[in-house]
């Protein structure tokens, strides 16, 4: 075994160890046995014995679903585990190494994962949330326009939806990627760097955006509106999607119910999310205000085309090693596999 392979295996072992510790810290709950039919979902396939779901604090539907215990009640014979991640790239790495079955990210992480040949599939999507991310500067910053980013340090989580927001913002300002110095930091580290002025700007999403907005009143040079649709995608391991399509259908139903609850019972939703996350209720209220209705469904042709543009942009900048065809890893349930959408990859 070569050095590179040993390093990869060691990294995967470390990640799995970290996830085990994280799971223990969050007191992951759920019945221990499984294997009977999904009583209330379509089809007659067996339920998975284990369903490990990756999520972030921004995943309102998943957080509400977790807090209400809806999956555990609906499917008592499946062990459901919930594991929190700081951002999408880390979540998809866990999905790719077999530490998760299902999770939610923004638009950019799946592109980087596909370019790295990660074994996962798009299974669903939520509508765009263009107001939920922004490029921030401090309120007394001399930067006033996107063109002012030239020569500046911009903090961003590499491979995140905010990464694509910066790409699009530079295009709008007729700047090249090489015109800025990207500082790749996870959200917590990026906020610290932003506040101590180690960077000139910070690209970030909710609820980190809302928390910073209320705490220090930064200015937004731009939001995703008119730049990046900020689609949200549900992804699954390929074996899970292949073996348990009924489970995915059931997940979509419950997630859409959770979204309806967030829209129609806002005070209760704010309390559920705040109690889980430790975020101030005002922060939760602000990021939910910026979030449109978000029912969950299969990817349509327009959504796939939007995602292909994300992939093409990153490849064009040399930020992923090869072109990818998004449609190749879009899952469809057995009943709709008679047609396939193909989106050409730009050379």
Q: How confident is the model at residue 47 (pLDDT cuts 50, 70, 90)?
A: confident
> Mean pLDDT throughout 212-220?
97
pLDDT digits (tens, 9 = 90+) for 270-280: 999 999 888 99
> Mean pLDDT throughout 243-266?
94
Instruction: Between 12 and 257, name the one with better pLDDT.
Output: 257
Q: How far is CA 327 from the centre of its chain?
A: 18
Q: How many CB atoms lie within 10 A of CB 336?
A: 9
Same fold, 22-127+231-336 and 130-223: yes
Structure tokens at 252: 């979509």
Q: In what order do the strands lie in the sheet with 201-205?
A: 181-184, 153-156, 201-205, 133-137, 219-223
Q: How confident is the model at residue 244 (pLDDT cuts 50, 70, 90)?
A: very high
Tell me what pLDDT residue 45 has.
Answer: 57
> Mean pLDDT throughout 177-181?
97
Please state, rounded to an integer, the average pLDDT across all residues of the chain. Answer: 84
Tell me what pLDDT residue 4 has.
Answer: 39
Domain regions of the chain by residue span: 22-127+231-336, 130-223
**Domain range 130-223, its CATH number among 3.10.350.10, 3.10.20.740, 3.40.640.10, 3.40.190.10:** 3.40.190.10
Q: How confident is the model at residue 181 (pLDDT cuts 50, 70, 90)?
A: very high
What is the architecture of the domain spanning 22-127+231-336?
A: 3-Layer(aba) Sandwich (3.40)
Cα angle for residues 169, 174, 178 (degrees, 5° grid): 80
> Mean pLDDT throughout 37-56?
66
**What percent of the chain clears pLDDT 90, i.e. is strictly above it?**
73
Residue 122 confidence (pLDDT) above 60: yes
> Mean pLDDT throughout 108-116?
95
Three-state SS at 222: strand
Q: How confident is the model at residue 190 (pLDDT cuts 50, 70, 90)?
A: very high
Provide the total of helices (H) and of strands (E) in the chain, helices listed first: 13, 10
């Amino acid at each position: 075994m070569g050095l590179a392979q040993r390093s990869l295996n060691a990294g995967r072992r470390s990640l799995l160890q970290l996830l085990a510790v994280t799971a223990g810290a969050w007191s992951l709950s759920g019945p221990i046995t499984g294997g009977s039919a999904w009583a209330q979902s379509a089809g007659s396939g067996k339920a998975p014995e284990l369903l490990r779901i990756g999520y972030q604090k921004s995943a309102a539907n998943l957080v509400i679903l977790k807090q209400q215990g809806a999956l555990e009640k609906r499917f008592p014979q499946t062990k459901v585990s919930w594991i929190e991640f700081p951002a999408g790239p880390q979540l998809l790495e866990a999905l790719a190494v077999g530490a998760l079955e299902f999770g939610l990210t923004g638009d950019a992480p799946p592109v980087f994962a596909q370019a790295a040949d990660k074994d996962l599939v798009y299974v669903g999507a939520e509508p765009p949330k263009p107001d939920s991310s922004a490029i921030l500067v401090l309120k007394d910053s001399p930067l006033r326009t996107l063109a002012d980013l030239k020569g500046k340090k911009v903090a961003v989580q590499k491979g995140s939806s905010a990464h694509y927001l910066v790409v699009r913002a530079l295009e709008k300002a007729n700047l090249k990627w090489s015109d800025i110095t990207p500082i790749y930091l996870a959200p917590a580290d990026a906020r610290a760097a932003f506040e101590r002025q180690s960077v000139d700007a910070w690209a970030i999403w909710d609820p980190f955006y809302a928390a910073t907005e209320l705490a220090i009143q930064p200015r937004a040079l731009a939001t995703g509106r008119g730049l990046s649709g900020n689609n949200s995608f549900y992804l699954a391991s390929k074996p899970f999607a292949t073996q348990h399509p009924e489970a995915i259908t059931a997940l979509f139903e419950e997630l859409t119910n959770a979204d309806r609850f967030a829209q129609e019972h806002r005070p209760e939703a704010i309390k559920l999310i705040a109690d889980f996350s430790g975020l101030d209720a005002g922060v939760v209220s602000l990021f939910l205000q910026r979030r449109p209705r978000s029912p969950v469904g299969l990817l349509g042709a327009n959504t796939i085309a939007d995602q292909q543009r994300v992939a093409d942009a990153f490849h064009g900048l040399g930020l992923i090693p090869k072109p990818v065809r998004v449609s190749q890893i879009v899952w469809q349930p057995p009943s709709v596999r008679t047609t396939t959408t193909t989106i050409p990859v730009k050379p």
